[in-house]
Structure 1
Amino acid sequence: MEDSAKAFSHLDNATNMPVMVNISGKEVTHRVAVAQSIVALTEEIAAQLNNNDIQTKKGPVFQTAIIAGTMAVKRTADLIPLCHPLPIENCKFDVSLNAYYEVIIHCTVSVTSKTGVEMEALTGASVAALTIYDMCKAFSHDIIIKETKLLKKTGGKSDYNG
């Protein structure tokens, strides 16, 4: 599709009002989306890493972020007004700290449905990042949530591999 033919999918062309996308005519396929968030920590916070997690008075940071992210994936339709509620089949997080004191969060979500799970993966990665910020801010407020982006999606009308 050429750029000139593209349109916002959540706007009714006749009224220019917001609408939920009609998926009744779409094919049911297995759909997967992978999103990433990056959280830059300070050296002081990163130094607290022990056994692949950071332990705080509130609990283990990465484990708590995974639980929060999973909860967010399941509640995406409650948070993003025009998202369809989906029966999530799988949700997996990978959380690691790199040499630059950045926490790399990958959220992979899958469903067999008429619509994709990009927003669920992005929401999961975002909430996991926010949870890391919340749990580490007692050390420093110099934490930066650098980016959240879609890395990959498969199974719909078009695949994406960013």
Structure 2
Amino acid sequence: MSTFSHLNAGGEANMVDVSYKAVTQREAIAEGYIYVSPSVIEQISDATIAKGDVFAVARIAGIQGAKRCSDLIPLCHPLALSKVDINFDIDSNDNRIKATCYCKLSGQTGVEMEALTGVNIALLTLFDMCKAIDPTMHIEGVRVLEKIGGKTGHWTHSQEANDAHHG
């Protein structure tokens, strides 16, 4: 039986002690998609969304989300992020927008949760800003693509792993 790192000897929720870990550079990239109507794609591309520049607002929201991860996820360590980068790519063929979040720091624990929180908040902000045009939008495919640092070193999400989870 495996030991859960977030439970103490009494089985109670517990924040993991990372004070013994070396400070190393840690990085993570997460991605996710919001599926939208062609009208949303068109209005974003033409900058005619009534609420303004949706990518600028969603980018700031995603950065704020990554910075506030420990306030949202129980037992998550508060981290001093040195870099958060949010990017968007419009895929008009599949009527979707891909959001990516890159997080970096020098610290004792990884930044996967911050990257996942950042990408989710960016996608939710896109939803909020476009819901009047298309209330049927949906978010899918949120995942960690890559992480660097810590005991596992450099890890990337492979297609084989994706197939194993969805096959």
The normalised TM-score by structure 1 is 0.91
Find the counterpart in structure 2 of residue 120 from structure 1: 114
The one-character-per-residue Cα deviations of 1:117-145 (angstroms, maximum 9, x if unpaired) are 11000000000000000000000111010
1:4-62 per-residue CA deviation (whole Å, 9 max, x = no partner) reads 5x4332112x21111111101111100000000110011121121326xx442221111
Pairing 1:97–2:90 present: yes
The answer for the alignment partner of 1:44 in structure 2 is: 39
Are 1:151 and 2:145 counterparts?
yes
Structure 1 partner of 2:28: 33
Would you tell me which structure has more strand in proportion to its own residues?
1
What do you get for the CA RMSD once the two structures are aligned? 1.3
Q: Closer, same or farther in 2 for the Cα pair 1:84/1:27, shift >3 Å?
A: same
Larger fraction in helix: 2
Equivalent in the alignment of 1:141: 135
Distance 2:88 2:74 in 1: 28
- The answer on whether the counterparts of 1:55 and 1:61 sit within 8 Å (CA) in structure 2 is no
Partner residue in 2 for 1:11 = 7
Corresponding residue of 2:101: 107
Relative distance call for 1:37 and 1:112 in structure 2 (3 A) is same
Give the residue type in structure 2 aligned to 1:94: N
> Structure 1 regions of 5+ residues with no counterpart?
none
Residue 59 of structure 1 aligns with which residue? 52
Cα distance in structure 2, aligned partners of 1:8 and 1:55: 49
- Judged with a 3 Å threshold, the aligned counterparts in structure 2 of structure 1 residues 77 and 152 are, in CA distance, closer, same or farther, namely same
Are the equivalent residues in 1 in contact too, given 2:29–2:147 (CA < 8 A)?
A: yes
Q: Is the Cα–Cα contact under 8 Å of residues 123 and 139 in structure 2 kept in the other structure?
A: yes
Aligned to 1:20: 15
- Secondary structure at 1:48's aligned position in 2? helix
2:86–2:101 Cα contact (<8 Å) kept: yes
Give the structure 1 partner of residue 77 of structure 2: 84
Unaligned runs of 5+ in 2: 158-167
Q: How many residues align?
A: 155
Length-normalised TM-score, structure 2: 0.88
Alpha-carbon distance change, 86 to 55 in structure 1, aligned in 2, over 3 angstroms: farther
Identity of aligned residues (%): 38
